[in-house]
């Protein structure tokens, strides 16, 4: 027996003896308390914080007023500092930028304003060194009409004829030629656009320049996998799947050879070219699309297995009802899909008007419908919706970040939420969002515009908020950047960023990473979320979501015990970390949130 083996046996033997002695002594001292539960090993993504970067607005390093990949690389430390585990970037691929990158002209290249492939490789390798995962935006529903795919399809090049959804005009009883169906695009106007060269209409569920791929064409399905493989091999740790509910439209073969018209919704406030004028029975949530998502999951799982790699995650962007949303996790026949569909409930079902019972109902709805064994997730904002403090109230920032970080599963932060960034003001003249430009006018464009949530990130109080050395940026910098910026929040004794940091740290506590959750409304406006696991400290978030001061009684919560201390609190709270809070009545100001730490129960 080589001597090193003998040494290790001795070490093991000594360790066992010491372990038994220490264990026995501990047992004798603390008595017959429950032993700590075994904490299941979590895969890297199951309890992480994912941060959405809007690359155009994150950080500009070449002074053109547009964010770039080197900007992201230069600020990767911010994510380590913030306690973020993964970033997902809105599209960074070659694009004419009609829909700011969601109209991709080359799925295999980096957009020139954002940098080069070398910049991307540098970003990934630096992020991985820092332990940050990198997720890409995957846009399968459509391609730019400037893409090679589209040009070849227009020319009916062999192999590409059916890459897109092409249709002949319909001749009506008066012998007039018209569009194939009454379907309306998400950005207004018909989904059908005439192509002179091919003498057919093509379908676009979004802008005219975004032609929908034909997912009934096997070559398209294969190409989608090629794209996925390409970026995985470049080091991507997964994908956010864009606009998935729109992958398929009704098949004319099931409707006597025609594209069926949608029934009208009867909404009298809309004109016939506005989304919402017709229903969307034939253009979204078609059951066929789920098989494509399941196919993608099989693909990434197989790649991962073949390459002995860490998990590659798929996150589905799907604004759908709860049943159709949950199907993205998988179906009852055992097919599995996305690691999770984004939970948009805090965007679509809750607002400044919601009371504590609304919050509790909406949170429990997700957790109840979610299939067993799956991982939840919580989204508070993104590049398509007004920013979180603007949709709710600015005094709710810390409480909302508290819910995000303390609810079970994955927390998702949109760029700026960690410092409480609000919507920026973007005048009609400065408006660039295709949704607003197509559907809006100087009086109503803000109803359609996504620009206010996309203004540049606030790094500090100097030129263009430290986003760019240029005074002129692609969207104006919000005026409040002098008060709301990262540097100021790092220097302040109390700030949203500091609360955010302590909340992301809190996620490592066993009660939060592995514990049970218990949520209830203590009054009309105050809710409590308790995270609990035996033998470890319990944590509770108490949050007044209303506009009036509220007093609630914590003594009814049996999972809590004294002495309770404040772990984190809203920046305006009179209570600061370390303060003791009695297990009795507590009064909260409007919007105030407290995270309490209590001994094991």
Q: Which is nearer to ligand NAG, 274 or 460 (CB)?
A: 460
Shorter beta-carbon distance to ligand NAG: residue 270 or 322: 322
**Selected range binding ligand NAG among 125-133, 322-330, 416-424, 428-436, rule: CB under 6 A:** 322-330
Cα separation of the two ends of the chain: 50
Q: Tokens 């995000």 sit at which residue? A: 404
Nearest residue to ligand NAG, scored by beta-carbon proximity = 466
Cβ atoms of 406 and 595 within 8 Å: the answer is yes
Q: Which two tokens stand for residue 197?
A: 């060269």
CB nearer to ligand NAG: pick between 282 and 531:
282
Q: Is the CB of residue 197 less than 8 Å from the CB of residue 154?
A: yes
Choose, from 209, 242, 398, 509, the residue flagged as catalytic: 242
**Nearest approach, Cβ of residue 330 and ligand NAG (Å):** 17
Considering only 219, 225, 336, 488, the residue that binds ligand NAG (CB under 6 A) is 488
Toward ligand NAG, which CB reaches closer, 323 or 471? 323
* Shortest CB 176 distance to ligand NAG, Å: 8
Q: Does residue 323 belong to the site contacting ligand NAG (CB under 6 A)?
A: yes
Q: How far is the CB of 461 from ligand NAG (least distance, A)?
A: 4
Task: Quote the CA–CA distance of 454 and 89 in Å, as a whole number.
Answer: 13
CA–CA distance, 89 with 574 (Å, rounded to integer): 38
Q: Strands of 192-195's sheet, edge to edge?
A: 166-167, 200-203, 192-195
* Near ligand NAG by CB under 6 A: residue from 3, 222, 253, 321: 321
User: What is the SS3 assignment for 531?
Assistant: strand
Which candidate in 317, 398, 417, 433 is catalytic? 317
State how far the alpha carbon of 112 is from the alpha carbons of 56, 68, 106, 240, 342, in Å. Answer: 12, 9, 11, 22, 30
- Measured between alpha carbons, how far is 301 from 323 in angstroms, rounded to an integer? 25
Beta strands in 465-546 (DSSP E): 516-521, 526-532, 538-544
Question: In the set 175, 222, 308, 471, which binds ligand NAG (CB under 6 A)?
Answer: 175
Part of the chain binding ligand NAG (CB under 6 A), chosen from 215-223, 231-239, 480-488, 558-566: 480-488
DSSP 38: P
CB 76 within 8 A of CB 124: no
List the one residue from 491, 516, 548, 585 that touches ligand NAG (CB under 6 A).
491
In angstroms, give the least distance from the CB of 115 to ligand NAG.
17
Single out the segment in contact with ligand NAG by CB under 6 A; choices: 153-161, 268-276, 317-325, 347-355.
Answer: 317-325
Least distance (Å) between residue 266 CB and ligand NAG: 18
Question: Interaction with ligand NAG in 247-286: which residues (CB under 6 A)?
Answer: 285
Interface residue with ligand NAG among 179, 270, 322, 446 (CB under 6 A) is: 322
Site string for ligand NAG, 435-464 (x = CB under 6 A): ------------------------xxxx--
Among residues 253, 259, 255, the alpha carbon closest in space to that of 278 is found at 259
Give the residue carrying structure tokens 């809007």.
54
Rounded to a whole number of angstroms, the minimum distance from the CB of residue 22 to ligand NAG is: 49
Angle in degrees, CA 119, 341, 38, rounded to 5: 95
Q: Closest approach of Cβ 361 to ligand NAG, in Å? A: 14
Choice between 162 and 349, CB closer to ligand NAG:
349
Q: Which is nearer to ligand NAG, 447 or 483 (CB)?
A: 483
The rounded distance, in Å, linking the Cα atoms of 80 and 537 is: 25
Active site residue 317: yes
Question: What is the rounded distance in angstroms from the CA atom of residue 96 to the CA atom of residue 159?
Answer: 25
Quote the CA–CA distance of 105 and 91 in Å, as a whole number. 11
Q: Which residues 6+ apart lie within 8 Å of 10 measured at CB?
A: none
Catalytic (active-site) positions? 242, 317
Instruction: List contacts with ligand NAG (CB under 6 A).
Output: 175, 285, 321-324, 459-462, 466, 482, 487-488, 491
């Amino acid at each position: 027996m080589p001597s090193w083996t003998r040494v290790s046996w001795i070490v093991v033997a000594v360790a066992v003896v010491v372990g038994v002695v220490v264990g026995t002594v501990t047992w004798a001292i603390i008595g017959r308390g429950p032993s700590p539960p075994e904490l299941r090993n979590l895969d890297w993504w199951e309890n992480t914080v994912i941060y959405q970067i809007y690359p155009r607005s994150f950080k500009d390093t070449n002074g053109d007023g547009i964010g770039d990949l080197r900007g992201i690389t230069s600020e990767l430390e911010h994510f380590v500092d913030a306690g973020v585990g993964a970033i997902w970037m809105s599209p960074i691929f070659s694009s004419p930028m009609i829909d700011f990158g969601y109209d991709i002209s080359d799925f295999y290249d980096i957009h020139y304003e954002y940098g080069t492939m070398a910049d991307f490789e540098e970003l990934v390798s630096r992020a991985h060194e820092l332990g940050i995962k990198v997720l890409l935006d995957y846009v399968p529903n459509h391609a730019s009409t400037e893409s090679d795919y589209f040009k070849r399809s227009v020319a009916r090049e062999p192999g590409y004829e059916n890459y897109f959804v092409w249709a002949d005009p319909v001749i009506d009883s008066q012998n007039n030629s018209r569009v194939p169906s009454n379907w309306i695009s998400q950005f207004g106007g018909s989904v059908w656009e005439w192509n002179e060269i091919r003498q057919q209409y093509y379908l676009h569920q979004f802008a005219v320049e975004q032609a929908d791929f034909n997912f009934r064409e096997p070559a398209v399905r294969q190409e989608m996998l090629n794209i996925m493989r390409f970026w995985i091999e470049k080091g991507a740790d997964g994908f956010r799947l864009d606009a998935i509910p729109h992958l398929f439209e009704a098949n004319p073969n099931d409707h006597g050879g025609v594209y069926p018209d949608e029934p009208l919704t009867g909404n009298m406030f809309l004109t016939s070219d506005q989304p919402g004028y017709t229903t969307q029975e034939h253009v979204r949530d078609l059951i066929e699309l789920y098989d494509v998502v399941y196919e993608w999951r099989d693909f990434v799982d197989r790649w991962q297995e073949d390459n002995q790699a860490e998990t590659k995650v798929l996150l589905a962007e799907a604004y759908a009802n709860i049943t159709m949303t949950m199907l993205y996790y998988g179906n009852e026949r055992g097919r599995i899909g996305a690691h999770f569909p984004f939970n948009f409930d805090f965007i679509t079902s809750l607002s400044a008007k919601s009371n504590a019972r609304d919050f509790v109902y909406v949170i429990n709805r997700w957790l109840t419908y979610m299939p067993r064994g799956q991982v939840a997730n919580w989204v508070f904002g993104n590049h398509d919706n007004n920013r979180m403090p603007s949709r709710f109230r600015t005094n709710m920032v810390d409480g909302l970040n508290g819910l995000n970080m303390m609810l079970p599963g994955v927390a998702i932060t949109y760029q700026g939420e960690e410092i409480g960034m609000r919507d920026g003001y973007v005048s009609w003249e400065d408006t660039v969002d295709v949704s607003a430009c197509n559907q809006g006018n100087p009086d109503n464009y803000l109803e359609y515009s996504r620009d206010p949530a996309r203004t540049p990130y606030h790094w500090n109080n100097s030129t263009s908020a430290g986003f760019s050395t240029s005074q002129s940026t692609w969207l104006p910098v919000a005026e409040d950047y002098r008060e709301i910026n990262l540097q100021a929040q790092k220097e302040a004794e109390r700030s949203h960023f500091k609360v955010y940091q302590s909340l992301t740290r809190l996620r490592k506590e066993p009660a939060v990473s592995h514990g049970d959750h218990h949520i209830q409304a203590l009054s009309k406006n105050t809710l409590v979320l308790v995270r609990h696991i035996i033998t470890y400290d319990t944590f509770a978030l108490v949050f007044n979501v209303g506009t009036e001061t509220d007093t609630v009684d914590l003594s009814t919560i049996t999972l809590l015990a004294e002495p309770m201390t404040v772990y984190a609190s809203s920046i305006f709270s009179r209570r600061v970390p370390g303060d003791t809070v009695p297990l009795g009545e507590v009064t909260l100001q409007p919007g105030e949130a407290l995270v309490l730490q209590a001994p094991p129960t």
